[in-house]
A and B are shown apart, each in its own frame.
Chain A
Amino acid sequence: MPYPAPTPENFPLKDAWLPLPMAFWQIDTAQHLLRRMGFSATPEAVTAALRKSPRHSVQEAFQPGAVLPKSAALAEFEATVHERYRSLYQSDADFEEKRRIRRELQKEDGELFREYAMDWFFYAREPECSAREKFVLFLQDIFVVERSKVKETYALHNLQQTLRAGTTLDYPELCKQVSKQPAMVRYLDLVQNTARKPNENFARELFELFTLGEGNYTEADIKEASRAFTGYRIKDRTDFFFQKNLHDKKPKTVFGEEGNWDGDDVIDLAFKQPAAKTFLIRELIKFYLTEEAVPEAYIEALGEQWADHGFSLSYLTETFFQSRLFFHPAYRGNLVKSPIHFYLGLCQDLRLDVAPFDSRVLRSMQVMGQSFYDPPNVRGWLYGEHWINSTTISGRRQVVDFLFTPLNEEKLNGNEKRDLERARKVGRGNFLVTQERLQQVLGTAADDLAQHFTTYFITAPSRETYREALKTILGDTHSDGATQRIRNAMIALLQSPAYNLC
């Protein structure tokens, strides 16, 4: 039987957001925190966490660290792209020639994108970056942009950097910064929004998807608010620019308040709405805790505290991740891992590097339903149960199979050979579970192996039944074919329903 979900009757409201008492800080709770906050709970990480308090574990996980640097090639492209397009348009080359050059530029951008995506996977895989990068993913699912519309890789990189730096800001300030990020300005058509011809796209999503949620604003609020965001432009293809003469300077009435509002004012007005206190918290719960409805009373209580702390995101993460509600047994082991979580979790659990082959990794993400920086629509990914269907299940299984299949280096193409060589040079060549590694555990009793696998790879609800099944699959770990059986057992476990949950 699953554990009954908390309600104010069986789990007092006043306790819900208090820190977990140290007496409950054990292997299971530490694993829960590490898997939810990041991507895995390896034995070393659990041991390290238990030496600290939950509070320090959370603070450390979110503390600002090294940023993901822009590659030299991407920085160079960004610095020169305006000039390159300008000379293209000014040249007297014929139509076909111009089209060819434009295609080249797009192709270059595509390559830069793949490089950036891979850089991000390498970076997020490092355990010390994982919690922050997962929170960046959370924010990317709020401030959605689709690569298929934005296109320019440097703009995506810049937006992501804003979100990364924003993980410790106050949320209204982050909203303001995002509204001025060229990727967002382009994605939600702010570039088309002028005093004479307002475009409502951004204003609508600001209220619906970033701050308040459906039902907490009127069509009139959107129409008026969109006038406040007029004049937002992109200069030289790369920089935000406020063009005064396109801005609507007439008074606007938003949420019943009349004034000569600009975009930042409208964001401040939105955060005076009661719905702003709870909107992001509801999203946070959906992303990190449960797909089931959590009683409103809990959400409202945290919303009040959060608003009292100026909507600080640091306050929110520190309070949320060490709270008693977060550790409630009803919320353990029942959240479907996202494809990125699944993939990076696999790498960390198996102590593997991210495979250096961009086409393979990025394609896998696509098949599993989470193309890097390219959600299906402005709503972002829906997370939870929505990740799982027959297509994505097959994708996940293939990813696991790849990790246990020897690499046939002769079959690699030129690019892959180059990438492999580079990865080995920088010490990132350990991306497959080799026979040698499997042989290291030969002779460990099936019982102990099954115990270890189920403790560290899956959550409590399935441990007992899985342990029995794994013992049968493993059989005698001394006899012929044992390496193969250990391999099969691990593949099966990593493809199983339980490993797909956290």
Chain B
Amino acid sequence: MNTLPLTRREFIRRSAGGGLGFLAFNSFAPSFLAQSAMAQAPGPERDRSILVIIQLAGGNDGLNTVVPHTDDRYYNLRPSLGLREGLLRLNDDLALHPACKELHRLYDNGNLSIIQNVGYPNPNRSHFRSTEIWETASDSESFKREGWLGSYLDNACAGSPEEDKNNQDPAAVHVGDMIPQSFLSEQSHSLFGMKPRGRFDRGNDPADRAYEKLLQADHIEGNATYLQQTMMNTLVTERRVEQIIAKYKAQANYPGTSLAQSLKRVAALIHANMETRVYYVSQGGYDTHANQLVNHDRLLGELSAAMGAFQSDLDAHKKDDQVLTMTFSEFGRRPAENGSHGTDHGTAAPLFVMGSKVNGGLLGNAPDLGISEKEDLKFSTDFRGIYSSVLDKWLEADSAQILGEKFAHVPFV
């Protein structure tokens, strides 16, 4: 393994072969390679704030996450799904789902903010469209292609394209096979996707040298260039990440679930001082149209345990000051249960923000349940206000420029 290059610079230098410098060897090198070969390595950006996003895919049921257990109207809307036993007290009127033990502990310690009833005007109830709205921070009538984090990367790297391109660490890392739409950007940034489990090194093979040679061939614009760049970044990053994960000693007991194992890998990369500032992991299964009680209990239990382990691990490694973890889901669910002991697609729901730097407590107004059985919750906090706070206060960026508009901050950080 020692003979494999570990940085893109080194990769470019060595794969040229024959002792010739890359630039001399290949006169038609794609420009981004030439640039990165020429540019100086920038000072590493250590100790910068980091954002970890946890997607709860499918639409998390807000009313059974933060439960208004003193409100009879809640139980009227949910004759079979209303939760009564084992609730974890937040204040006189509200309690967390019984499965959220770790989140409750974090809340009590002031390391968890719960923002209530988050949504947006004219809510859309399609999974994709609403996910897209959340991931692109658009309003429900307009369509944006770029994700809000992709726009952040565009913005953060504006004016210093060379520097960004020469960063040897990915700008953003996601766990899972799909690049989240949140990451889509106008400029190209190095993104890295990893699996929740398993190794990804390939060992050393002369066929790899041949592959590297073909990678350097001139590629016509379009998907070929995109493939070429992705393949090259992949080679370099795989080698580095593999080493980091293999060496990592977690200081917390992570459960075996995909979500927890994903967060463990994120913790390893953060611990290794990767320059990556944005991480994205996902937990699926929240689309609880039927038999919600059992499934939702399991999902929230996994979420709570995974987040708890992750925070403990960061604390133990003294990385907690640097990391903010935030959940989101495309929508909440209908206040009234359906006929299948489940709930259909709804609107607003609470979200969690975790970290030792958060202000803690409950923020925003609880949803108004003075509604008929057919009605939906009306949001009280716009999710883009939360994004603005993250961008301005946490990532030290300019939210108005990134989101295209100013939104009222939510004081969780």
Given A2-B220, A390-B234, A492-B214 in contact, is the A379-B194 Cβ separation under 8 Å?
no
Query: Are B194 and A390 in contact (CB-based, < 8 A)?
Result: yes
Mask for A469-502, Cβ within 8 A of B = 1, else 0? Answer: 1101100000000001001110111011110110
Asked whether A1 lies within 8 Å of B177 as measured between CB atoms, the reply is no
B228 within 8 A of A: yes
Q: Give the residues in chain A near B127, CB-CB below 8 Å.
A: 377-379
Known contacts A219-B125, A388-B230, A389-B230; A469/B214 CB under 8 A: yes
Given A379-B127, A386-B179, verify A192-B210 contact (CB < 8 Å): no
Within residues 192 to 244 of chain B, which ones have a CB less than 8 A from any CB in chain A? 192-195, 200, 202, 205-207, 209-211, 213-228, 230-231, 233-234, 237-238
Given the contacts A394-B238, A473-B213, A462 and B126 also touching, CB distance less than 8 Å: no
* Contact between A394 and B202, CB atoms less than 8 A apart: yes
Complex CA gap A335/B224 in Å reads 9
Q: A140: CB under 8 A from chain B? A: no
B126 to chain A: which residues have CB within 8 Å?
A: 204, 208, 214
List B contacts of A336 (CB < 8 A). 223, 227
In the bound complex, do residue A390 and residue B218 qualify as a contact, i.e. CB atoms below 8 Å apart? no
A61 to B: closest C-beta gap in Å? 25
List of A residues within 8 angstroms of B105 by Cβ: none
- A194 contacts partner chain B, Cβ-Cβ < 8 Å: yes
Docked pose: A390 CA to B242 CA in angstroms: 13
| Interface of A, helix, strand, loop or mixed by DSSP | helix
Which of B202, B206, B217 has the largest number of chain A CB atoms within 10 A?
A: B217
B160 smallest CB distance to A (angstroms): 24
CA distance A386 to B129 in the complex (A): 17
CB-CB under 8 A for A401 and B213, given A385-B226, A390-B192, A390-B233: no
Does A98 reach chain B (CB closer than 8 Å)? no
Q: Among B179, B206, B227, B237, which residue has its beta carbon within 8 angstroms of that of A497?
A: B227
For A51, what are the chain B residues with a Cβ–Cβ distance below 8 Å? none
**Pairwise interchain contact A462-B220, C-beta atoms closer than 8 A:** yes
Q: Which of A42-79 contact B (CB under 8 A)?
A: none
**Bound Cα distance from A209 to B222, whole angstroms:** 28
CB of B290 within 8 A of CB of A397, answer no
Given A377-B57, A385-B223, A491 and B211 touching (CB < 8 A)? Answer: yes
Would you call A466 an interface residue if the criterion is a C-beta within 8 Å of the partner chain's C-beta atoms? yes
Decide: A398 near B202, CB < 8 A? Known: A189-B290, A489-B210, A497-B219: yes
B234 CB contact (under 8 Å) in A384, A394, A470: A394
User: Is A392 engaged at the interface, CB distance under 8 Å to the other chain?
Assistant: yes
Q: Which of B200, B205, B227 contacts A394 (CB 8 A)?
A: B200
Q: 0/1 per residue, A29-45, Cβ < 8 Å to B?
A: 00000000000000000
Q: Tell me the complex Cα distance, A219–B129, Å.
A: 14
| B289 contacts the other chain (CB 8 A) | yes
Check B234–A192 contact: CB distance below 8 A.
no
B128 at interface, CB cutoff 8 A: yes
Chain B residues, Cβ within 8 Å of A219: 125
Q: Which residue of A lies closest to B129 (CB)?
A: A214
Shortest C-beta distance, B301 to chain A (Å), equals 19
Chain B CB within 8 A of A451 CB: no
Contact flag A199-B224 (CB < 8 Å), given A462-B219, A496-B214 = no
Are B223's CB and A334's CB within 8 A? yes
Q: Does A274 contact B (CB under 8 A)?
A: no
Interface 0/1 of B288-312, CB less than 8 Å to A: 0110000000000000000000000
Q: Which residues of A contact B58 (CB under 8 A)?
A: 377
Asked if A382 lies at the interface with its beta carbon under 8 angstroms from chain B, I say yes
Q: In angstroms, how far is the closest chain A Cβ from the Cβ of B378?
A: 15
Whether B24 is near chain A, meaning CB under 8 Å from some CB there, is: no
- Flag if B339 contacts A197 (CB, 8 Å): yes
Give the chain B neighbours of A389 by CB distance below 8 A: 177-179, 191-193, 230
- Chain B residues near A231 (CB-CB < 8 A): none
Q: Contacts A335-B223, A377-B57, A391-B193 hold; do A401 and B214 have CB atoms under 8 A apart? A: no
Residues 123-147 of B, flagged 1 when their CB comes within 8 A of A and 0 if not, give: 0011111000000000000000000
CB of B253 closer than 8 Å to a CB of A: no
> CB of B382 within 8 A of chain A?
no
Q: Are A204 and B193 touching (Cβ within 8 A)? A: no
The answer to the question of A259 belonging to the interface, with a C-beta cut-off of 8 Å to chain B, is no
Task: Mark contacts of A427-465 with chain B using CB atoms, 8 A cut-off: 1 yes-contact digit, 0 otherwise.
Answer: 000000000000000000000000000000000011001
Complex contacts, A385 vs chain B, CB 8 Å: 223, 226
How many interface contacts (CB-CB < 8 Å) are there between A and B? 165
- In this complex, what residue of B is CB-closest to A189? B289
Contacting residues of chain B (369-407) with chain A, CB-CB under 8 angstroms: none
B217 near A390 with CB under 8 A, answer no
Do residues A498 and B224 form an inter-chain contact, with CB atoms below 8 A? yes
Determine whether the beta carbon of A197 is less than 8 Å from that of B338.
yes
Question: A199 and B213 in contact (CB under 8 A), knowing A401-B207, A488-B206?
Answer: no
Please, how many angstroms separate the alpha-carbon atoms of A500 and B224 in the complex? 9
Q: A76 → chain B, closest Cβ, in Å?
A: 29
A189, A367, A382, A466, most chain B CB atoms within 10 A = A189
The answer, among A199, A333, A367, A488, for a CB contact under 8 Å with B210, is A488
Q: Which residues of A contact B179 (CB under 8 A)?
A: 386, 389
B238 cross-chain contacts in A, Cβ below 8 A: 390, 394
Q: Is A393 an interface residue (CB 8 A)?
A: yes
Q: Which residue of A lies closest to B342 (CB)?
A: A192
Cβ < 8 Å to B, chain A residues 234-279 = none
> Which of B178, B211, B220 makes the CB contact (< 8 A) with A496?
B211
Measured in the bound complex, the distance between the Cα atoms of B226 and A207 in whole Å is: 34
Q: Is B340 an interface residue (CB 8 A)?
A: yes
B221 in contact with A197 (CB, 8 Å)? no
Report the nearest B residue to A188, measured CB to CB. B289
Q: How far is the CB of B126 from chain A (nearest CB, A)?
A: 6
A199-B289, A200-B344 are known contacts. Are A492 and B178 too (CB-CB below 8 A)? no
The CA-CA distance from A75 to B178 in the complex, in Å, is: 35
Does A369 have its Cβ within 8 Å of any Cβ on chain B? Answer: yes
For B200, the chain A residues whose CB sits under 8 A away are: 391, 394
Q: Which residues of A (387-422) have their CB < 8 Å from a CB of B?
A: 388-394, 397-398, 401, 404
The residue in chain A whose Cβ has the minimal distance to the Cβ of B336 is A197
Are B220 and A388 in contact, with the CB atoms below 8 A? no
Residues of B within 8 A of A386 (CB): 178-179
Q: Whole-angstrom distance from the CB of B142 to the nearest CB of chain A?
A: 12
Contacts of A466 in B (CB 8 A): 214, 217
Q: Find chain B residues with CB under 8 A from A377 CB.
A: 57-58, 127-128, 284
| A19 contacts partner chain B, Cβ-Cβ < 8 Å | no
Residue from B176, B206, B237, B342 having most chain A Cβ neighbours under 10 A:
B206
Q: Are A469 and B217 in contact (CB under 8 A)?
A: yes
Nearest Cβ on chain B to A422's Cβ, whole angstroms: 29
Task: Determine the residue in chain A with the shortest Cβ distance to B334.
Answer: A200
Query: Shortest Cβ distance from B233 into chain A, in angstroms?
Result: 7
Q: Are A390 and B193 in touch, CB under 8 angstroms?
A: yes
Interface string of B249-264 (1 = CB under 8 A from A): 0000000000000000
Given contacts A388-B230, A393-B234, A492-B214, contact A1 B344 (CB under 8 A): no
Binding site for A on B (CB under 8 A): 28, 57-58, 125-129, 176-179, 191-195, 200, 202, 205-207, 209-211, 213-228, 230-231, 233-234, 237-238, 284, 289-290, 338-340, 342, 344-345
Contacts A/B (CB < 8 Å), 6 sampled? A2-B222, A379-B128, A465-B217, A469-B213, A469-B217, A491-B210
Known: A219-B125, A389-B179, A394-B202. 11 other contacts (CB 8 A): A2-B222, A192-B290, A199-B340, A389-B178, A401-B207, A462-B217, A462-B224, A470-B214, A473-B210, A493-B214, A497-B231
User: A interface vs B, CB < 8 Å?
Assistant: 1-2, 189, 192, 194, 196-197, 199-201, 204, 208, 214, 219, 291, 333-336, 367, 369, 376-379, 382, 384-386, 388-394, 397-398, 401, 404, 461-462, 465-466, 468-470, 472-473, 484, 487-489, 491-493, 495-498, 500-501
The 5 closest A-B pairs by CB, nearest first: A197-B339, A492-B210, A497-B227, A192-B340, A390-B234
